[in-house]
Structure 1
Amino acid sequence: MIDQKKTVILYGSQTGNAEELSQLLWRQFKLRGFSGPAIAMDDYDIRNLISEELVIFICSTTGDGEEPDNMKKFWKFLLRKNLPHDSLKKLKFGVLGLGDSSYLKFNFVAKKLNKRLLQLGATQLLDIGLCDYQHDLGNDAIFIPWTAELWKKLSQYGSNPVDTDSTLPSFLPRWNVLKTDFTSDQSIKRTNDLYFPDENNLDCCADKPFIMELKSNIRTTSLEHFQDVRLLEFGPLKETFDGYEPGDVVNLRPRNSKAQVDLFFDIFSDHQLNLHRDDIINVTQIHDDMPVPKYFQKPMLLSQLVEQYWDLSAIPRKYAFSVLAVESENKLEKEKCIEFCSPNGSEDLLNYCNRPRRTILEVLEDFHHSTSKLSLNHLFEMFTSIKPRAFSIASSCKAADRKQIDILVAVVKYFTKLKTERLGLCSNWLKNIPIGMRIFAWVTKGTFVFPKSVNTPLIMIGPGTGLAPFRNVILEQEHLQQASNETLILFFGCRNEKGDFHCGDYLKQMESSGKLALTCAFSRDQDNKIYVQHKIEESGSFLWNLIQKKSGCIFIAGNSKNMPDAVKQSFVQIFIKEGNMTEVDASEYLKRLEVSKQLQLETW
């Protein structure tokens, strides 16, 4: 039995996805009579863990199987050797992991956490849930059935069975949201950024943000090429900037486009809410266990909220349809929303929403009768927040004297069965920001950890924008006068030499000066398609010598769909041929290289 209906939900996340799911789960617990906070692991007093009876952990995996920043202190404490093996004997727990199956260490952090809790004597309520970003339904594909199983398990520990059949939960807002007319209160300070309102006082921010200014925006693909790729150069950075290392990534939070913001206000122009851009929004606390985030603790303009916080391009979760159904007075729309929320409606939801990539704004337009009944509290629950995006840094900190950050960005545009073109939020925002615009950013460690010795050969496979982290390394070693074609080996791939050979002039100049061994695969410049994996196999003897005799390290960066597996299979073939191995032995050898970090991947 669980003596009290109390639960603690602890999350660890680099981007905010785990926090969002934690708050969704908190709402479900609250509706079932439980109480307790949903907070980041490092914000929780871990000394209280030995007395907790029920804790749900939601965590993502970052980098090469590493825990998120807001989980590091918590995890370090759990690993202490002096903790008794029965420290957590009172605790019943569940672990939900957020991961991407294209990575070798899929949900590695959640698996480690689950194992460590068992070692400390805790009781596992249900099997670990392993969400996969690659699934058509995203995290919902695992989150929804996992939580249904959780309610069943919890019913065994309470006097009242937990309701698992309710398709439509009652609406429960996290916070109370009120608006006032700007003309009635003009004391609000208009700030440029919702998250960093005081650019002169950034030292107190945990992310160590800084301001960078766009200096240039160069298209690296020809105008005739189907894809628009940009090399963006930001700087100058202030002298107080801490700098970065090869392999690091820069994080930034994009904003919705003017067209999206205009569409939002068009949808709500004749709404009962009577929303205007200069409306002042106040967010206040309702529940003791759900405090208002710091960035909402001061009044803000609705236009700022719409542009910077709500992700207007997001595909809505099932929960958004449940909110619409709760409030709808239109029979047809209500029935359709209920159907989408039901287990039998998943395929219909995929066909309506996920596969054509229909956005939340387009859904609100389609369900306009239900939309007309929504309040600001509803909007706060239906819209997801804009998450930060991470980009491999494509410039050298040393070469730029810490005053420049470059990123290589493929602008996402494509069509589905819907009439309107689908646009990637961040890439299109970056493409269109004007020269001289200043944005906030912060640097974190990426997946790649490059060897400290410059004598270690670097075998770099970076087709397309996968070139970015390797451009960082090449620029740095050139600046330090350490660049050599014996240690810098780059395999680059694209469609056409004249179409999308990013930074091609610089790479060819480095090759001609003997500072880089460059091999290119231009897949469409001949009748038969040639990819980087083909070029790698052609260089089998050379690469085997670097790996086996000189401890050369392999780095693979780029699209996660097919390329990484194809490249790894090429190395398996090299090991079979050059190392006289069986296929099984060659595959095991490849795995050992990954475990020892002699082979590293950074894919997206």
Structure 2
Amino acid sequence: MTGHERSVLVLYGSETGNAQDIAEELGRLCQRLHFKSHVEELDAVELSVLLQHQLVIFIISTTGQGDMPHNSLLFWKKLLRKKLPPNCLSRLKYSCFGLGDSTYLKFNWAARKLVRRLDQLGATTFVDICEADEQFPDGIDGSFVRWADDLRKHLLEHYPPPSGLEPIPDDTMLPARWSLGPALADLSEKVQVVDLSPLRLSDTNGTLTAPNLPPPGLLPIPAGWTATLTKNERLTPTEHWQDVRLASFDVPAHQSGGKIQCVPGDCLTLYPKNFPHDVQKLIDLMDWNNIADQPLNLSACESLPRNLYAPACCTLRDLLLNNIDITAIPRRSFLKNMSYFSTDEYHRERLLEFTMTEYIDEYFDYATRSRRSIIEVLDEFTSVKIPAERLLDVFPLIRGRDFSIANGGISANHPSNNDTTNVELLVAMVKYRTILRKPREGLCSRYLASLLPGSTLRVSYKPVLSPIHGTANSQRPLIAMATGTGVAPVRCLIHERLTHPSPAPMIIFFGNRNRAADYFFEDEWRTLSEVAAKKNTQLLVFTAFSRDQREKIYVQDLVRREAPRLEKLIPKRAIFAVCGGSSKMADSCKRAVFDPFVESGDEAARKEMLEAITWWQEIW
């Protein structure tokens, strides 16, 4: 038996965390089949590591315009090196699960590019590759459950466990990957009565927190920036159903001299925190009051999750306030973990049902469609008491939320000085109702709404992967189609284009519900049109406000109406930017552009012309 036998390496490229969650679930599946499983992000491994394992599974999402996720760019660069011999990976047996969205023109391109390159270097697949589609009726989850079942059967048939060993049953709990045990070990004899007044809650720096507000301390985010909130202005009327904010941040340069240089498509990443009363509710539910405020030394732990942004010295309450996502929709793996800690047989069986392939629809109805939160599920299954040492192994971490930067170029509202960059974000406060009585609120929305001007927080900066700005692109016509806060990156792009001499014509199609409440930057578009005219070019803005008349009008209706105008621009290698919160809208816009153009001339020639355009899409 060689050193790498019965060893599976699961590598993920993840932008929002979905691919990482799937990778960790696969790691546990392989553990149950008695493989040594290792789960890591792509950028954390060298190519030579691929050959040190019997099997390698890649889980990769496609981001942007067919791009690799940010945490796989270094790996991809290594894989593309020209000096790599053609058969250097001939001993590699792999499979790949791709996460994609078929409303994008470059569907699952990251997975396809990865597979093509691995094949070029001599690697071979051991089980069929899967391209999951967000648009499937049961989404990515449904595809993954079925593919994972096939993978398990294949592994059992072709790589059976060593003689005498049976697969570890699903109802048997696996050892913790990350345990707080060493950090909690000294607390058993230090139990004290804790004052639960919210005024006594402290952040990681020991400062007092106002009642029911997240702690103000700065998270230790590697390569992060300290930003100061200078404006948190509501743009929609107070009586309007939706609260949309223009949040403005001043981001000073690093001491090393580095400064954020914003370009269209870049994102600022915010890291939300939990509210004290939610944290206290979880502490009560789990019976953690005796240890919640005792000091922990995380450096005593053998290993910690890669994206845990916490100081070595903290408390359990600090971790819950700053790092643990207790309001997330529970994944099936979380519900399975809950089942191990239930003392009620009915609760246990019910939780396990949600994790089974045949009950995927029930899980969707219970968790996804109703948007139940982790804390609500724990409040419903009261027999579940998760030990504190399992906190990092069972609960998801709070992930940063990416927001497209909305300002740039000639914006004069907040000029940047030599040491500070001003960044504006257009943020819709997520608040809605489902079949559950309590209104749903987004964690980051709620956090941002609680911040007052002058607040400081740590942020990350994420550069665009497929840029559509710059001198050359400014000479190509721009047709932007945006709904709601999707207008943010469009605004940034228009500002940038107007810094160039004589940019090509620009057309914006903007859609929302009501002109009086939802027409973001209305006055600014008029000013920018005047600036464009002085540069001997044109900026046209067409609006569709669906609720302002009996017959609903959407952006795609305006695009189809203006087809003759667009027909003249497409042969000039136009850039189309589609931004907003609906894949259905993006797909309708694509048809509104492509169908009339192809139908009005030689079909083959016109399809060839469409291949020369740039279709840049950001849907969230």
Query: Are the structure 2 counterparts of residues 144 and 531 from structure 1 closer, same or farther at C-alpha, using a change threshold of 3 Å?
Result: closer
Find out whether 1:542 has 2:565 as its counterpart.
yes
Alignment partners' CA distance in 1, 2:409 and 2:541: 23
Question: For the Cα contact (< 8 Å) 1:5–1:35, is it kept in 2?
Answer: yes
Pair 1:325-2:336 in alignment: no
Q: Which residue of 2 aligns with 1:563?
A: 585
- Corresponding letter in the other structure for 1:335: E
What corresponds to 1:580 in structure 2?
A: 601
Shift of the alpha carbon at 1:366? 0.7
The answer to whether 1:434 aligns with 2:452 is yes
Deviation at 1:139, TM superposition (A): 4.3
What CA deviation, in whole Å up to 9, does each residue of 1:266-318 have, x standing for no partner? 423xx2x4355423344478878x87767467132222211222112211122
Q: In 2, are the aligned partners of 1:214 and 1:438 still within 8 Å (CA)? A: yes
Please tell me whether residue 522 in structure 1 is matched to residue 545 in structure 2: yes
In structure 1, the partner of 2:374 is 360
Task: Name the SS for the 2:460 alignment partner.
Answer: strand
Q: Cα distance, 1:420 vs. partner? A: 0.6
Deviations, residues 151-198 of structure 1 (Å, cap 9, x unaligned): 2222213454886794424232112214336989x9x8549788843x
**Residue 468 of structure 2 corresponds to residue 452 of structure 1:** no
Alpha-carbon spacing, 1:226–1:215, altered in 2? closer, same or farther (3 Å): same
Distance 1:18 1:249, change over 3 A: same
Is the 8 Å Cα contact of residues 267 and 365 (structure 1) preserved in structure 2?
yes
Q: Distance in 2 between matches of 1:42 and 1:236?
A: 27
Aligned twin of 1:468: 488
Letter in 1 for 2:377: V
Aligned equivalents of 2:589, 2:306: Cα separation in 1: 47
Q: How far 1:588 sits from its partner (Å)?
A: 6.3
Q: Output aligned runs, 1:146-545, within 5 Å.
A: 146-155=147-156, 156-158=158-160, 160=162, 166-178=169-181, 179=184, 180=187, 190=206, 196-197=219-220, 205=222, 208-235=223-250, 237-238=252-253, 240-268=258-286, 271=287, 273-275=288-290, 277-283=292-298, 295=309, 298-369=312-383, 371-372=384-385, 374-396=386-408, 399=411, 400-401=415-416, 403-446=421-464, 447-453=466-472, 454-478=474-498, 480=499, 482=501, 487-511=505-529, 515=533, 516-545=539-568
Counterpart position of 1:14: 15
The TM-score with structure 2 as length reference comes to: 0.84
Q: 1:385-434, CA deviations, whole angstroms, 9 ceiling, x for partnerless residues?
A: 11111111101156433621001111111111111111112122222211
Q: Secondary structure at the match of 2:67?
A: coil
Paired with 1:559 and 1:293, the residues of 2 have a C-alpha distance of: 27
Counterpart Cα distance in 2 of 1:367 and 1:508? 56
* Structure-2 residue corresponding to 1:145: 146
- Asked if the contact 2:192–2:290 (Cα under 8 Å) also holds between the matched residues in 1, the reply is no
User: For 1:304 and 1:140, how far apart are their aligned partners in 2?
Assistant: 32
On the 8 A contact 1:220/1:503 being kept in 2, the answer is no
Distance, in Å, in 2 between the alignment partners of 1:419 and 1:25 is 35
Partners of 2:13 and 2:72 within 8 A in 1 = yes
Are the structure 2 counterparts of residues 225 and 189 from structure 1 closer, same or farther at C-alpha, using a change threshold of 3 Å? closer
Answer whether contact 2:89 2:118 (CA < 8 A) is retained.
yes
* Residues 482 and 119 (structure 1), Cα distance of their counterparts in 2 relative to 1, 3 Å cut: closer
Aligned length: 580
Asked if 2 retains the 8 angstrom alpha-carbon contact of 1:26 and 1:37, the reply is yes
Residue 337 to residue 291, structure 1, CA distance change in 2 (3 Å): closer
3-state secondary structure, aligned to 2:312: coil
Aligned-pair CA distance for 1:336: 1.2
Paired AA for residue 458 in structure 1: L
1:176–1:284 Cα contact (<8 Å) kept: no
Structure 1: where are the runs of 5+ without partners?
none
CA distance 1:231–1:182, shift in 2 (3 Å): farther
* 1:283/1:299 CA distance change after superposition, 3 Å: same
Quote the RMSD (CA, aligned, Å): 3.2
Change (3 A) 1:350 1:407: same
Q: Measure, in 1, the Cα distance between the counterparts of 2:30 and 2:320.
A: 29
Q: 1:60 & 1:285 partners in 2: Cα distance?
A: 34
TM-score by length of 1: 0.86
Letter in 2 for 1:491: F
CA contact (8 A) 1:461 1:557 kept: yes
> Can you list the C-alpha shifts for 1:213-272, whole angstroms capped at 9, x where unaligned?
11112222223332221111111534742312122121222222344324323423xx2x
- 1:148–1:164 Cα contact (<8 Å) kept: no
Q: Which runs of 5+ in 2 are unaligned?
A: 194-201, 208-214, 534-538
CA apart distance, 1:555? 1.4
Q: CA deviation at 1:441?
A: 1.6
Q: What are the superposed Cα offsets for residues 485-520 of structure 1, whole Å, 9 maximum, x if unpaired?
A: x62322211222112001112113333565432222
The answer to whether the 8 A contact 2:34-2:161 is kept is no
Q: CA deviation at 1:437?
A: 0.9
Q: Structure 1 residues 403 and 451 mapped into 2: Cα distance closer, same or farther (>3 Å)? A: closer
- For residue 617 of structure 2, the aligned residue among 594, 601, 604 is 601
- Please report how far the alpha carbon of residue 340 of structure 1 lies from its aligned counterpart in structure 2 after TM superposition: 2.0
How many Å apart are 1:362 and its aligned residue? 0.7
SS across alignment from 1:226: coil
Give the 3-state SS of the residue equivalent to 2:56 in structure 1. Answer: strand
Give distance in 1, aligned partners of 2:291 and 2:476.
Answer: 60
Map Cα deviations across residues 23-62 of structure 1 (whole Å, 9 max, x no partner): 3333333343222532222221322434542212222222
Does structure 1 retain, via aligned residues, the 8 Å contact 2:132–2:144? yes
Letter of the aligned partner of 1:601 in structure 2? Q
AA partner of residue 58 (structure 1) = I
Counterparts of 2:459 and 2:146, CA distance in 1: 37
Q: Secondary structure at the match of 2:180?
A: strand
Q: Measure the CA separation in 1 of the matches of 2:49 and 2:133.
A: 31
Deviations 1:351-370 (A, max 9, x none): 2222111111111011101x
> Could you say if the C-alpha distance between residues 91 and 481 of structure 1 is closer, same or farther in structure 2, counting changes exceeding 3 Å?
closer
Q: 1:474 to 1:286 in 2, by over 3 A?
A: closer
d(CA) in 1 for partners of 2:121, 2:114: 11
Distance 2:296 2:607 in 1: 57
Distance in structure 1 (CA, Å) of the matches to 2:161 and 2:36: 16
Is the contact made by 1:140 and 1:317 (CA closer than 8 Å) also made in structure 2?
no
Counterparts of 1:555 and 1:505 in 2: how far apart (Å)?
22
How far apart, CA to CA, are the structure 2 residues paired with 1:30 and 1:440?
36
Cα deviations by residue, 1:325-361 (Å, 9 ceiling, x for unpaired): 2232212212212222223322222222221111111
Give the CA deviation at 1:587. 5.7
Map of 2:80 onto structure 1: 79
Identity of aligned residues (%): 32
* SS of equivalent residue, structure 2 residue 589: helix
| 2:325–2:396 Cα contact (<8 Å) kept | yes
Given that 2:93 and 2:126 are in contact with CA atoms closer than 8 Å, whether structure 1 keeps it comes out as yes
Q: Assess if the C-alpha contact under 8 Å between 2:225 and 2:459 holds in 1.
A: yes
CA distance in 2, matches of 1:563, 1:140: 23
